[in-house]
Structure 1
């Protein structure tokens, strides 16, 4: 087959002959960097192979050949079309008959008038097909004997040859639907007429969407038939060609095998724990140091002292719960869990994964969760290598905090809020700055935090605290009820350590 444009190939294609394999003879690249528009393939390279599997009519462009005006018709357009014999019209019936005689056409011929024709018998609508059977005398006038309608509803009319038009000669045959016209090779590029359209003559230009398979394309490729590319049909010599379809690990997991499945890695599509996201999480973390003299209520939680396996523990207790690993896993001497003082079991998460090994080293296996690390692969030929022993199992894997919170945001945990994180501590300096911004002195801000049942003591300040807090506390005499202020607090003070002295008033309150 000689190369033809894709549009001509599709217009002449018999849908019953699909699939067809095409080779691109002259490629096209649409506007440099633009690769796809509206989901359609707009770039094809010379030598590419295309396996056409389906052709869909998208729309039909209707054009007036006289003015160049166009309009779009939907594929389900209900109007009927009649092909014209040529682009010219005739002013009278006599001119029409004369032209048919000169071209050696035999009667009957079909024609129509672009204007309404009124006779004694009836009114003929405009653009209504008529059949001219003969020329004969009728009541002393040379007339054209015409038939209106088809079948049992035929009406015989005698129209004088002087009847004015304009008249258009039609190809013989009944009017046809839009799809019938497009499927008839003889009517390709023909001049047509349709009473439902405003133009007396028109041409139709269909536009199709071609669905095809291409090498290393994971999905069906959609190509507009109007793409300016030449193709060659090589279906007869393409029986040995195999179109390789990429496969995602998630798709291999979803179809459930058969396993083992030999594959070749093509491209990594998505990798979701990412370093950028981890950096963002790290910025939100804040380390808090508590001094040993920090006052507070601390309680050590104790259990029943019994030992449980992990399976029994999850079955008998609700999560989260605090546990201590007291024995290593005998099958894993490097078990790191007993080294921790305590573990908090948050929840049970079911995550499907694939056990993957490398063809060069079948003994080394590792787990890949496709939902978090989806690789693009292609099925390889041949049988995969089988590991000699049982597949290794990784008992404990460390997850970063960023990955854990990202996991909690996944659809599997929809409706479940992740554990709250502790708020950032602004410290006394931050509280002082907020008080100043609101027009409140630091002493007034502290007053708002005092219990309402206690009397308001006289406020004094501690000495400026030095960096060595241990020395500060060692210098406080035990017999004194409080400290005396050595430096008054002013509103503009930049001292980071603002302490209120309440020790003198506190015993009296008690």
Structure 2
């Protein structure tokens, strides 16, 4: 754009836009969100506007937009289409669609997968699911219809909505589903006990570059300045070409290594990457995929912290007792290499003589799941049970616990070994509880050493760039693609020869919002385990509250029937 006016002060930013300056718009960024919420008072309903911080920790349900799109091109220009599951919008046409060899019925859900080109025409790849089978087809952007959003029963964080679910030039209505635990409700911008709909109105800023500046200029979208579009008559290649970390990662492997200059460093909140300062030149050696361990702090209050730990973490870990709310959880957690020994923390009474009742303090060795026939008042039925050995002094009694029992158990640990993180993930079923017994001496600061206990939850695959500073190519760092936001300018292809230099890894503390995003989307291909069967309809007597018997802690059990 060619500027026809000039502005010399922009809310404290050290930048001026003189008349005649040519700027290149490289992107848009949402700076804050105005939420319109309906509030009841003595005079009836009124709309109240509040400002939501971009990191507002809550989960929302998206309300389907009732205003239709009349071409496929309108959808692609309004919504972001991407490889992520979030980048696949769902629409339905209010009329039948007759395609080659396929008819899409009115109201049938159409999933837009990606943008493509067919015979020189821009198209979208689409999919419909019928009776468990997927049918794929392409539609040109000019295809006309009356396309409305499908209802969505998923929950999203505010960041996910801003990145994927807010159409350009449209508002987005959402419903607050859950406020996450680390938010102080006393300072919430929303009205107390608010449960209604919110209309989200994003406030944008323009990201632009100038011909004689390397940094990115942030221009408020409400800035009163006159411009002329000169795109067709100007050489835009003469400007800085800023690229994101994700843009670099999408380049072919054969182009690496690359030399780049940092134009805009990571967000100040990402303190562990503060060494990536604007103006520094870095060598991007290659793009990689690595394993990260998602872990949470073991504590009962609402200020639980979450961590992403590299698989190469060299600290030593000791086991901590796990807690199991049901017999079903015991069956999942049992391992072949060792006997699972637990103590009951909740009483349970059964009316079936074939099954065992449980008192607080009872100890069990878990064996296997099986199906048995039980009877009550002459009615016979088959139920799933967990076969166990009940420890009675130095003796063992074979008992059956119903899988549906609403109990509670705590693990008894007899293992005094120390483990590396990679071995924990190999040998034990996750989630698994540990504490750091010896910190990782290769790190300047091991933040896990100060944590009283950790629950190792799952392994995720994490894409990253392997980088080093141009003047010190042997000191290499991993820069995660999805968690570091910075802008780079490519300078040249590097002549640095590949070396097997050690890579510095970092334990990252992540926000609760990002933790929920990882748990829900990193392993979307994995199906959750089946839930235990519901409790039988036959009523059972109320549980009896019992105190834990005071007894001497037994020696590690050695069942005569089970090899430990």
| TM-score exceeds 0.5 | no
TM-score, normalization: structure 2? 0.27
